[in-house]
Amino acid sequence: MHDGHIIIGNWKMNLDAFASRALADELRKKLAGIRLAPNLEVVVCPSYDALASVGEALSGSALQLGAQDVFWQEKGAYTGEISASMLAALGVRLVIVGHSERRTHLHETDELVNMKVKAALSQGMTPVLCVGETYDERRIGHTELILMRQVVEGLKGITLGPDNKLVIAYEPVWVIGTGQAIDPAQAERAIQVIRQSLIDLYPPATIATQIRVIYGGSVDPGNIANYTTIPGIRGVLVGAASIHAENFIKLLASFT
């Protein structure tokens, strides 16, 4: 049973291995001075090159290690790719899948994303399935259609075992990295659509205890509460505000 929120820092391709380690060390030190809200889960997702070192720095702390992507095959001739078992070997507990930046720049389709969700689950890791509409899709009234499609296709054929957890991150593509988060009412509506799609796929008890729906897109210490106080939103996925220790700690502190 989970009844707390989750906050996930996505460091994207912003910090090299040394800067990532320094941030992890700083977070760990600063965290010692604050009391986290009970049941608050905190995850940071450095780039692949920094996973081992950041994992070492966070070992034994309240921060968990996540990854920004995963390949769907387990092993073999897949030059440049990293499998779920390789991530698991480094202590990775959660993996972001289908981020809009990958859908855009790497042309990831719902089908590929679906295979990645399966790969993560097969290693007992929590997939964070990212969904969200572009500005043009919203403008022509396709937001709900896109969200339903990305959820249903991304989770096609996926049953959750009793120990599996899943996070769906609603990230409207047009507000990511803009510093201008979405109107909370629009976020709430989108989250309702996602939850409705989930109801068609999983029993209510599974949704209540194993699946979290969270918001991402220009979350910062000043606006985080606008989202985390919406009942259907169980956490946040944070980019820019997660790569400065001070800001990230403020985000965590907003839950106390």
Whether 171 is catalytic is: yes
Least distance CB 1 / ligand 13P (angstroms): 26
Amino acid (1-letter code) at residue 64: Q
Could you give the count of Cα atoms lying within 13 Å of 6 in the half-sphere of its Cβ? 28
Rounded to whole angstroms, the Cα distance separating 15 from 100 reads: 20
- Shorter beta-carbon distance to ligand 13P: residue 55 or 216: 216
Query: Which residue in 23, 167, 238, 245 binds ligand 13P (CB under 6 A)?
Result: 238
Based on the shown chain and the rule CB under 6 A, indicate whether residue 239 belongs to the binding site for ligand 13P. Answer: yes
Write the interaction track for ligand 13P spanning residues 62-101; mark x where CB under 6 A is met and - where it is not.
-------------------------------------x--
For the chain, the DSSP string reads: ---S-EEEEE-TT---HHHHHHHHHHHHHHHTTSPPPTT-EEEEE--GGGHHHHHHHHTTSSEEEEES---SSSSSS-TT---HHHHHHTT--EEEES-HHHHHHS---HHHHHHHHHHHHHTTPEEEEEE---HHHHHTT-HHHHHHHHHHHHTTT----TT--EEEEE--GGGTTSS-PPPHHHHHHHHHHHHHHHHTTS-HHHHHHHEEEEEESS--TTTHHHHHTSTT--EEEESGGGSSHHHHHHHHHTT-
Whether 144 is catalytic is: no
Write the interaction track for ligand 13P spanning residues 147-186; mark x where CB under 6 A is met and - where it is not.
------------------------x----xx---------
Least distance CB 238 / ligand 13P (angstroms): 5
- Shorter beta-carbon distance to ligand 13P: residue 199 or 225: 225
The distance from CA 87 to its chain's CA centroid, rounded to whole angstroms, is 16
Count of chain residues binding ligand 13P (CB under 6 A)? 14
Amino acid (1-letter code) at residue 15: L
Query: Which residue in 219, 224, 245, 251 binds ligand 13P (CB under 6 A)?
Result: 219
- Shorter beta-carbon distance to ligand 13P: residue 201 or 230: 230
- Shorter beta-carbon distance to ligand 13P: residue 10 or 114: 10
Q: Which of 5, 99, 101, 144 is labelled catalytic?
A: 99
- Shorter beta-carbon distance to ligand 13P: residue 155 or 241: 241
Based on the shown chain and the rule CB under 6 A, indicate whether residue 110 belongs to the binding site for ligand 13P. Answer: no
Part of the chain binding ligand 13P (CB under 6 A), chosen from 156-164, 187-195, 198-206, 235-243 = 235-243
Active site residues: 99, 171
The residue ranges that bind ligand 13P (CB under 6 A) are 10, 99, 171, 176-177, 216-219, 237-241
